Amino acid sequence: MKRVVITGASGHLGKKLFDHLKNQEGFSVIGLDIRPNEAEGIYFSDFTEYNKQWIDLLDGADVLVHLAADREPDASWESAIKNNINGTMNLYQACKESGVKRVVFASSNWLHGGYRFTDDVLRSDLCPFPVNAYGVAKLFGERVGEYFSRFGGLSVVCMRIGWTQWTHDNQPGDHMAMGRWGQEMWLSDTDFLNGMQCAIEAENIQFEVLNLMSENEGMRWDISETTNKIGYVPNDKSHPNMSFKSKFKSLVYSIFVRKIPQFLEKRLYGW
Ligand SMILES: NC(=O)c1ccc[n+]([C@@H]2O[C@H](COP(=O)([O-])OP(=O)(O)OC[C@H]3O[C@@H](n4cnc5c(N)ncnc54)[C@H](O)[C@@H]3O)[C@@H](O)[C@H]2O)c1
């Protein structure tokens, strides 16, 4: 029996994973969240405070899946530092002290947000390029995870989760923000649950950073490493569908964000 603790278990993804594991043999699961939840097995916890109340609940756990965070890309620095940086630091430390073996950290595609208008293939070893406090905090969570995997005895898997929408029944389409970039990072519910379960169960891992998307047509995220390292095989795929309006918006945006700065850099080099 694998004992799993899920943080952020009252949230959109946390509750899905909680229900998914709870209904399976071979798992015993509890959830922790600052947001109250009536489901049996989900307990109040505030990770910004390092306290015994929630640390005791980690005792005997094999795996911590850390999903709790301010998930908004426009989160303020104050909130990102408090909930996503301090909270994550407290959890790694508590896992080390409680003897938890594996941490699965919910990282994000926003770590590569600055590559939207480039042609780079988005592999885990591509230099991070966060463009907001949320992305910087996720980068921190990965790097601190690497530290604890080297010096704290933890096995750490960081999943750079694509986009599992909390609206539109998570069906992909032109309603998704950020044009093609947004649609290419779509992650179905089935693939989210399957990918996280692979990260929980994979053996012989000290530290990995892996992309988690469905198999979307033409996407720039490389998910082959996720298959090779933890056995994730996507079940779903989307075919990006761009209206004239979305194509036009993306073109205008790329002219201002990429093309004009590139032109000026070339022409005014050394000024
Ligand atoms: N939904 C996506 O498409 C997506 C994409 C990439 C990464 N992620 C990451 O996955 C995780 C879950 O995302 P979600 O969409 O379910 O978000 P969500 O907001 O629905 O869930 C997050 C949960 O964390 C809890 N939480 C926040 N701060 C806390 C604290 N200090 N102490 C205890 N609990 C706290 C919240 O109460 C909430 O229930 C987040 O880390 C998010 O950054 C999500």
Tell me what the pLDDT averaged over the chain comes to. Answer: 94
The pLDDT tens digits for 191-219 are 999 999 999 999 999 999 999 999 999 99
Q: How far is the CA of 101 from the centre of ligand 1 (A)?
A: 22
pTM for this predicted structure: 0.94
Q: Which atom of ligand 1 is nearest to the CA of 10?
A: 39
- Rounded to whole angstroms, the Cα distance separating 52 from 220 reads 43
**pLDDT at res. 249:** 80
Dihedral over Cα of 249, 253, 256, 262: its sign:
negative
The CATH fold assigned to 2-240 is Rossmann fold (3.40.50)
- Tokens 């029944």 sit on residue: 169
Three-state secondary structure call for residue 59: coil
Whether 172 and 183 have beta carbons less than 8 Å apart is answered as yes
The verdict on the CB of residue 194 being under 6 Å from ligand 1 is: no
CB atoms within 10 A of CB 207: 17
Q: Where are the domains of the chain?
A: 2-240, 243-271
Q: Using 50, 70 and 90 to split pLDDT, how confident is the model at 81?
A: very high
**pLDDT at res. 38:** 93
Three-state secondary structure call for residue 7: strand
Least confident span in 64-78, 99-113, 127-141, 233-247: 233-247
71 pLDDT exceeds 80?
yes
- Rounded to whole angstroms, the Cα distance separating 71 from 80 reads 9
Q: Which atom of ligand 1 is nearest to the CA of 164?
A: 3
**pLDDT at res. 265:** 78
41 pLDDT exceeds 80?
yes
